[in-house]
């Protein structure tokens, strides 16, 4: 089956290449795209070869593929993303043009694909839409800029941590996790008190990724946490940063009254891994009664 599939696809592409004119290319793209986006189990073998064939067509396939971005079908959107990733940078200028489309599905798909392409030439185009009225677009642009990893966008990302929409704030926190920039630490610590867990979790990840430059401020924040859920996140970050300066506060927390804080501190002490940290865990294990804390300490010992 695979053999015949390859012959068919090769013939299709070579026939299109032998002809001139946009029509023949469009016919080939259409036919390949039907197979690349097929969701039928009987034709699953055709999907990847068809995507690769479209990828090999390169820039010549882009105009027709861009037309297909009007789709609202999730699987066609995924196929387009996969194919554009195979085509790579030659697709970027036309995708940036689509950002200004009046069709909301097209422009959101364009921003999603540009994020996956991670090409710095898209930054200018993306920045134009960072304050878009559509929260989905704002979130998409920030997410894409984070994936591209261009420092120019950092101030806008920090600003977006205060966006009125929690999905935009989440995207901002995720985007900032791609940068080891110490100036992000304070806004990210504030974001640990966000109403939405997506923002808090992502801010914690971003702070963990910043590494050593975040340690001192995290130690300070642990002393005076904004709220309980932020406190729990700070304990986890302390573990992720695995700095010896966290030993003392974590030992205190693992012996505190709050079983959840004790559980997170137990895990964090395990990540510290020092002799003193393990001793604190061992001591706690002798008297601990809460099953969550016990399971965390046992997990450390088992690992």
Partner 1 sequence: MIYKITTIILFLAAICSGQTAAPDSFQALDSLQRAIDMGLSSLKMNRGDLTFRGDYLEEDPYRLPIVNAYMKEPLKIIDYADSTLSFERLVDFKIKGLLGNKSSEVKRAQNSKIIEKDSRLFERADTLLGRDISSLLKGLLYLARGVDPDNWPGFSGYSRFQRDSLMEGFTLLLEENVEDEFKTVDQLDSIAQYEDRWAERLVKLAENSRGRGKIVDEFISLLDSSLARPPSVPSSAYNLTLPTDYGDIVIGDTSSNKYEGDFFIIIDPGGDDTYDLRFPGVGHQIYIIDLSGNDSYSFPKDRISPLFFGGSMIVDFEGDDLYAGGSYSLGAGLFGVSVLWDKAGNDRYYGDTFTQGAGCFGVGILRDDAGNDTYQAALFAHGFGFVDGVGILWDHAGNDTYIAGGRYKDILRYKDHYISLSQGFAYGIRPKMSGGIGLLIDKAGNDAYISDIFGQGSSYWYGLGVLSDSAGNDQYLSFQYAQGAATHMSVGILFDATGDDVYSAKGVSQGCGHDRAAGLLVDLEGNDSYNAYDLSQAAGSANGLGFLADIRGADAYVVRSDQNTQGFGQPRRDYGSIGIFIDLGGRDGYAGGVGRDSTWWSDSKWGIGIDQ
90 versus 294: smaller Cβ distance to partner 1: 294
Rounded-to-integer distance, Cα 72 and Cα 76, Å: 8
Among 57, 64, 99, 171, which residue interacts with partner 1 (rule: CB under 8 A)?
171
Tell me, by CB under 8 A, how many residues bind partner 1: 38
Q: Which stretch binds partner 1 (CB under 8 A): 197-205, 237-245, 248-256, 280-288?
A: 197-205
58 versus 291: smaller Cβ distance to partner 1: 291
Is 2 near partner 1 (CB under 8 A)? Answer: no
Is 170 near partner 1 (CB under 8 A)? Answer: yes
3-state secondary structure the chain: CHHHHHHHHHHHHHHHHHCCCHHHHHHHHHHHHHHHCCCCHHHHHHHHHHHHHHHHHHHHHHHHHHHHHHCCCHHHHHHHHHHHHHHCHHHHHHHHHHCCCCCHHHHHHHHHHHHHHCCHHHHHHHHCCCCCCCHHHHHHHHHHHHHHCCHHHHHHHHHHCCCCCHHHHHHHHHHHCCCCCHHHHHHHHHHCCCCCHHHHHHHHHHHHHHCHHHHHHHHHHHHCCCCHHHHHHHHHHHHHHCCHHHHHHHHHHHCCCCHHHHHHHHHHHHHHCCHHHHHHHHHHHHHCCCHHHHHHHHHHHHC
- For the bound state, the minimum distance from the C-beta of residue 213 to partner 1, rounded and expressed in Å, comes to 24
Is 215 near partner 1 (CB under 8 A)? Answer: no
Pull the structure tokens for residue 237. Answer: 């970050």
Q: Which stretch binds partner 1 (CB under 8 A): 33-41, 62-70, 148-156, 216-224?
A: 33-41
Is 35 near partner 1 (CB under 8 A)? Answer: yes
Is 129 near partner 1 (CB under 8 A)? Answer: no
Q: Which stretch binds partner 1 (CB under 8 A): 60-68, 152-160, 230-238, 249-257?
A: 230-238
Buried b (16+ CB within 10 A) or exposed e, 135-163: ebbbbbbbbbbbbbebeebbebbbebbeb
Task: Fill in the per-residue mask, 141 to 160: x = in contact with partner 1 (CB under 8 A), - = not in contact.
Answer: --x-----------------
Check if the beta carbon of residue 166 is closer than 8 Å to that of residue 192. Answer: no
- For the bound state, the minimum distance from the C-beta of residue 93 to partner 1, rounded and expressed in Å, comes to 26
Is 41 near partner 1 (CB under 8 A)? Answer: yes
Is 196 near partner 1 (CB under 8 A)? Answer: yes
- For the bound state, the minimum distance from the C-beta of residue 77 to partner 1, rounded and expressed in Å, comes to 10
Is 232 near partner 1 (CB under 8 A)? Answer: yes
Rounded-to-integer distance, Cα 281 and Cα 271, Å: 11
- For the bound state, the minimum distance from the C-beta of residue 73 to partner 1, rounded and expressed in Å, comes to 7
Check if the beta carbon of residue 163 is closer than 8 Å to that of residue 172. Answer: yes
Among 14, 15, 72, 121, which residue interacts with partner 1 (rule: CB under 8 A)?
72
Rounded-to-integer distance, Cα 72 and Cα 105, Å: 7
Is 118 near partner 1 (CB under 8 A)? Answer: no
- Report 84-103 residues binding partner 1 (CB under 8 A): none
162 versus 279: smaller Cβ distance to partner 1: 162
Positions in the binding site for partner 1 (CB under 8 A): 31, 34-35, 38-43, 46, 72-74, 104, 136, 143, 170-171, 174, 195-198, 200-202, 229, 232-233, 236, 260, 263-264, 290-292, 295, 299
């Amino acid at each position: 089956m695979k053999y015949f599939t390859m012959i068919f696809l090769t013939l299709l592409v070579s026939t299109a290449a032998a002809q001139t004119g946009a029509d023949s290319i469009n016919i080939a793209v259409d036919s390949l795209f039907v197979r690349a986006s097929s969701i039928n189990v009987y034709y699953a073998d055709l999907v990847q070869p068809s995507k690769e064939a479209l990828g090999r067509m390169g820039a010549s396939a882009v105009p027709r593929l861009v037309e297909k971005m009007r789709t609202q079908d999730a699987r066609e959107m995924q196929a387009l993303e996969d194919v554009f990733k195979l085509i790579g940078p030659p697709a970027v200028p036309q995708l940036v043009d689509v950002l200004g489309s009046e069709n909301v599905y097209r422009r959101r798909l364009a921003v999603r694909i540009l994020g996956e392409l991670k090409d710095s030439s898209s930054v200018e185009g993306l920045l134009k839409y960072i304050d878009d009225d559509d929260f989905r677009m704002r979130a998409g642009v920030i997410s894409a800029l984070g994936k591209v990893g261009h420092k120019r966008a950092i101030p806008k990302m920090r600003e977006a941590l205060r966006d009125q929409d929690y999905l935009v704030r989440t995207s901002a926190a995720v985007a900032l996790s791609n940068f080891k920039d110490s100036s992000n630490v304070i806004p990210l610590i504030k974001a640990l008190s966000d109403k939405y867990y997506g923002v808090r979790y992502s801010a914690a990840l971003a702070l963990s990724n910043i590494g050593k430059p975040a340690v001192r401020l995290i130690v300070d924040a642990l002393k005076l946490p904004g709220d309980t859920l932020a406190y729990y996140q700070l304990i986890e970050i302390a573990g992720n940063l695995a700095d010896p300066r966290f030993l003392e506060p974590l030992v205190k927390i693992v012996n505190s009254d709050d079983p959840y804080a004790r559980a997170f501190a137990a895990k964090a002490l395990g990540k510290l891994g020092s002799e003193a940290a393990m001793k604190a865990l061992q001591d706690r294990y002798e008297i601990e009664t809460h099953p969550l804390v016990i399971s965390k300490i046992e997990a450390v010992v088992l690992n």
